[in-house]
Amino acid sequence: MKFLKVICLLLVANISFANVILPSVFSDHMVLQQNDEVKFWGWANPNEEVDISPSWTSENYKTKATNQAYWELTIKTPKFGGPYTISIKGYNEVVLKDVLIGEVWLCSGQSNMEMSASWGIDNSEEEIAKANYDNVRFFTSPKMAANSEQNNIISSWEICTSESMKYASAAAYFFAKRLQETMKDVPVGLMVSAWGGTPIEIWTPENIIKKDTALLTAANKLTPVSYGPIKPGKAFNTMINPLVGYKIAGALWYQGESNVGSDVYDKNLEALIASWRNLWGYNFPFYFVQIAPYNYGENHFGGVIIRDAQRKADNQIKNSGMVVISDVSPIDDIHPKDKKAVGFRLANLALKNHYHLIDDLVESPSVSELNFDKNKAVVSFNYAEGLYSKDKKGLFEVAGEDKLFYPATSKLKDDTIIVSSKKVNDIKYLRFAWGNNTQSNLFNKANLPASSFTTEN
């Protein structure tokens, strides 16, 4: 009987004094957003007092766990720096070491975001050898799917070394590298949640897809594959939802190849961005990569339709930016190897539009105004300084009311192009570089290519 009493007392003690538990995103080597109020959360015994003490301040932060054994609180962070320690005390104590304060970016998408140096990027051996940056840290989510929202990811923060960079997102790495060239000592944290071959629907909360008839219809047309889920919300539940609330500067997105064939991708992208921003509670910058020209097939325009949908979404979404990469992507490789150009172009958007640290021309030429005058189409562009054509290929086409397109000639004057064709007397529609594997030949002085586009829809 005495033995049983001891066992019971031990069980009660174990229940009464449950350990404070943190989600994996709070670990050694983590990066927290600078000059901000960042949320910490976790689990403990109901009503257990939780005390957090960061080493950058003498202030202690206290809260109590709810009757659901959950707690959260907000901590003020200073300007960039570190390393720091953070003590989290309940009935036990957890000490996070080597914590940096800097800039945190969420990086998501499919294989081109997931693609690491080990896959064979350009100059991979050289880039791997010099990739030792203590101020750059990775938190990479493992591939997981679930039918309901999860609250934790099994992973941890890693310091950027030649070994860790070799298997981390190359696009994200080069983004951080470019930021540091300008921001110098500011640490950069990269939270990477990417899964090759996945459609945008699995990264969007299921309820967002279900309440929109057009999005749900498109989702129901997706064909099952052997390398990943296709049902709405599956990856959001496991690879995004556990990160919601972790303070970020912004998000990077590189995806679209698995949605070739969709006619609502612009609406999908708008819905994903709006849902993520709503969950985080603020309109963080969202920069994304337009998919590259590739031969998706000769009898359709599925690939270029996605590129145009991305262009249209960028025009509609505030605080967003799109990088065009048709000039650094061979049309016979769906996984372009030049991830440095991709990362640098994304970073240049952030440095100019979010951090306001550069004032260079970092945007591709984009259509600002279009007028039809009988047998002429007059197109004006934003970001068109030094606009030029790289070769003499005629990539403009025009059509009348019948929507039968014919090759057109074009004349360039400053930031305006005049397009015409002897076969169309009354132009109603215009398109440029309209083909799945057609690379743009129109550039500005920053040598950034214009996007393909059409006025047909």
pTM of this prediction? 0.95
376 three-state secondary structure: strand
Which tokens go with 177?
A: 């590298």
- Inform me whether the pLDDT recorded for 56 exceeds 80: yes
Question: Which residue's structure tokens are 């030649």?
Answer: 162
For the domain made up of 18-101, the CATH class stated in words is mainly beta
Reported as a pLDDT band with limits 50, 70 and 90, residue 7 is: very low
Which tokens go with 24?
A: 């994996």
Q: What is the mean pLDDT of the chain?
A: 95
DSSP state of 425: S
DSSP state of 212: -
Mean pLDDT of 281-301: 95
CA-CA distance, 192 to 75, in Å (whole number)?
A: 24
Contact present, 363 and 381 (Cβ < 8 Å): no
CA-CA distance, 42 to 197, in Å (whole number)?
A: 32
- Strand (E) positions, 277-395? 286-289, 320-323, 366-373, 376-382, 388-389
CA-CA distance, 442 to 363, in Å (whole number)?
A: 13
Instruction: Summarize pLDDT for 294-345 with one digit per residue, the tens.
Output: 999 878 999 999 999 999 999 999 999 999 999 999 999 999 999 999 999 9
Q: Shortest CA distance to 193 belongs to which of 227, 234, 238?
A: 238
Contact present, 39 and 73 (Cβ < 8 Å): yes
Contact present, 364 and 448 (Cβ < 8 Å): yes
Instruction: Summarize pLDDT for 209-267 with one digit per residue, the tens.
Output: 999 999 999 999 999 999 999 999 999 999 999 999 999 999 999 999 999 999 999 99
Reported as a pLDDT band with limits 50, 70 and 90, residue 1 is: very low
Instruction: Summarize pLDDT for 73-87 with one digit per residue, the tens.
Output: 999 999 999 999 999
- Inform me whether the pLDDT recorded for 3 exceeds 60: no
Q: Give me the pLDDT at residue 374, please.
A: 86
- Inform me whether the pLDDT recorded for 284 exceeds 50: yes
Which residues, listed in sequence order, are joined to residue 21 by a DSSP beta bridge?
43
Reported as a pLDDT band with limits 50, 70 and 90, residue 5 is: very low
Q: 102-354 adopts what CATH topology?
A: Rossmann fold (3.40.50)
At CB < 8 A and 24+ separation, what contacts does 36-39 make? Answer: 36/76, 36/77, 36/247, 37/74, 37/75, 37/76, 37/77, 37/247, 38/74, 38/75, 38/77, 38/246, 38/247, 39/72, 39/73, 39/74, 39/75, 39/245, 39/246, 39/247
Residue 256: other Cβ atoms inside 10 A: 26
Mean pLDDT of 87-93: 97
Instruction: Summarize pLDDT for 399-411 with one digit per residue, the tens.
Output: 999 999 999 999 9
CA-CA distance, 74 to 72, in Å (whole number)?
A: 7
Q: Give me the pLDDT at residue 103, please.
A: 98
Q: Give me the pLDDT at residue 2, please.
A: 45
What length is written for the chain? 457
What sign does the CA torsion over 437, 440, 441, 447 have? negative
- Inform me whether the pLDDT recorded for 15 exceeds 60: no
The ranges assigned to domains in the chain are 18-101, 102-354, 366-454
Contact present, 254 and 113 (Cβ < 8 Å): yes
Question: In percent, how much of the chain has pLDDT > 90?
Answer: 93
